[in-house]
Structure 1
Amino acid sequence: MRETSSNPPSVMLVLHDVAPETWPDYRPFVEAVDALGNVPMTWLVVPDFHHRNALQQAPDFCRLLDERLAKGDELALHGFYHADDGPTPRTPRELFMRRVYTHEGEFYGLDQAQALHRLREGLQLFQAQGWPVAGFVAPAWLMSEGTRQALRQLPLRYTSTPQHLYRLPDFAAIDAPGLVWSARSAWRRGMSRMISDWQRKRLASAETLRLGLHPVDMRHRSSREYWMDTLRELMAQGREPVTKSVWLDRQLAS
């Protein structure tokens, strides 16, 4: 479903895979963004990234996230482990999606009960920290039908894929196109730049654009500078930086 509104053009800066382990990658970039002025960000927080970043054991990092909330940023739930540790893939499609496309599609193979248990654990952790949470984003944006059914049972307001936000619990789709890089190798970074430049031109009149950043982007000068330059240019063109929740609120009010 495509929805339109009279809201001003916007940009959403979204940090994926947020965890104690990835904060050193993000820190210089976040500090540079803060220097631009009021640029709220959406942080996709993983409760226990790769089974070695339990937030309960990282009080300093949790205080940092408290500070980001106080600045006007948003925290969203981003899986629980961000690692696909399920049974061996049984079909060629599963093998491709879970072992070739990504090894981190945590919610791709979960049934409803498994997904609901993991989602509730994540929400309980947010609640224990006193963090408001409106959104869930599946690692690699991959969700099983069981995950979709589990999300319908929870007090969350949205989930997302690369091109849409989905209002919960009915999964009503709202166009919210995004740019994302694959920065693991030089040729991937070169291809990502070409694709992102093409998408920016194609989406110049879109109501909003999402910039989906990953820790690996921060480890390479070309990708890191691309995101900073893109953010500056979009803001110079009159796009207002907003969090996902703020943008969704505007959609519902328009």
Structure 2
Amino acid sequence: MAERHLLIVLHDVAPPGWPQYRPFVEALDQLGPLPLSWLVVPNFHHRHPLQASPLRDILEQRLARGDELILHGFHHCDDEPPPRDPRDWFMRRVYTREGEFFRLDEQRAGERLARGVELFKRLGWPLQGFVAPAWLMSAGTRRALARSGLRYTSDPRSLLLLPNFTALPAPTLVWTSRSAWRRGLSQAWCAAQLRRYQQAPVLRLALHPEDLRHPSGRAFWLATVRRLLDSGRIPLTKAAWLEHCRTQRAAA
């Protein structure tokens, strides 16, 4: 049987969310050496600079363990002018208010990306990937990413190899946790996705701090990780999985 992989991805990694992540990460560590992919926000909502936070040292320790650090926006908030049409309003006020790169033109997206890349360089952190908050990218952001020198980005369905956005299918389980009814629907939807993608070559778990504020979210994600490991899935970081795919293609 072909290998099946598991990518455990922690979104919105920033000082405000660490109290929610910490006990969950400690529980994961009890399951064995599980490489994690951390989506790091350099200055969450303009108020929480990572460089000045104790979280910086924690992430350096995780990097030394074999985890991957990925650039996840810069501020992780939408500071653009108010929505101009119904679609804009839905995407920026109903779907999310965190779509930092949804309305940026190429120049501004490139400047924001460059600031994040420079921070990683200054901290001595290797960087291969970028994920836009809420996976929302403007056309200008895509053009800026194509010339960024980064290796990959992603959307909810795929990892996208740069500069051409070549899609490698990687289905994702994700919750929306802003209300009880959303959490209930998320749990049912993810259960269906687990059945649907039982034999998929790779499966991503996209966790958010808000999920872990609630007992149902904490229990679901921990049980899901255990279930997928017990089923034989091999945990990898995003970068390691891409390297595995490259090696497989070269050997074919």
TM-score (norm 1): 0.96
2: CA distance, partners of 1:99 / 1:187: 18
Out of 27, 33, 44, the residue aligned to residue 28 of structure 2 is 33
Which runs of 5 or more structure 1 residues have no equivalent in the other structure? 1-5
Amino acid at match of 2:243: D
Distance 1:33 1:8 in 2: 22
Mapped contact 1:136–1:158 kept (Cα < 8 A): yes
Measured after TM superposition, the shift of residue 56 of structure 1 is 2.3
Deviations 1:58-84 (A, max 9, x none): 1x2111110000001000000000000
Residue 66 in 1 paired to residue 60 in 2? yes
| Counterpart check, 1:52 vs 2:55 | no
1:164 maps to 158
Looking at structure 2, the residues matched to 88 and 234 of structure 1 have their Cα atoms a distance apart, in angstroms, of 42
Please list every run of at least 4 consecutive aligned residues from structure 1 whose deviation after the TM superposition is greater than 6 angstroms: none
Are residue 228 (structure 1) and residue 222 (structure 2) matched? yes
2:202 maps to a residue whose letter is T
Q: Secondary structure at the residue paired with 1:123?
A: helix
Q: Which residue of 2 aligns with 1:22?
A: 17
Shift of 1:35: 0.8
SS of residue matched to 1:136:
coil
Listed as ranges, the gaps of 5+ residues in structure 2 are none
For 2:86 and 2:211, how far apart are their aligned partners in 1? 30
User: What is the identity percentage for the equivalent residue pairs of Structure 1 and Structure 2?
Assistant: 55
Separation (CA, whole Å) in 1 of partners of 2:195 and 2:55: 38
Aligned residues: 248
In the alignment, the residues of structure 2 paired with residue 26 and residue 94 of structure 1 have an alpha-carbon distance, to the nearest angstrom, of 31
Contact 1:7 1:250 in 2 (8 A): no
CA distance in 1, matches of 2:184, 2:80: 33
Q: CA–CA distance in 2 between the matches of 1:161 and 1:188?
A: 21
In 2, Cα distance between equivalents of 1:162 and 1:124: 26
SS in structure 2 opposite 1:132?
coil
- 2:197 matched to which residue of 1? 203
TM-score if structure 2 supplies the norm length?
A: 0.97
Q: Is the contact between residue 76 and residue 134 of structure 1 (CA under 8 Å) also seen in structure 2?
A: yes
Q: Structure 1 residue 112: deviation in Å?
A: 0.1
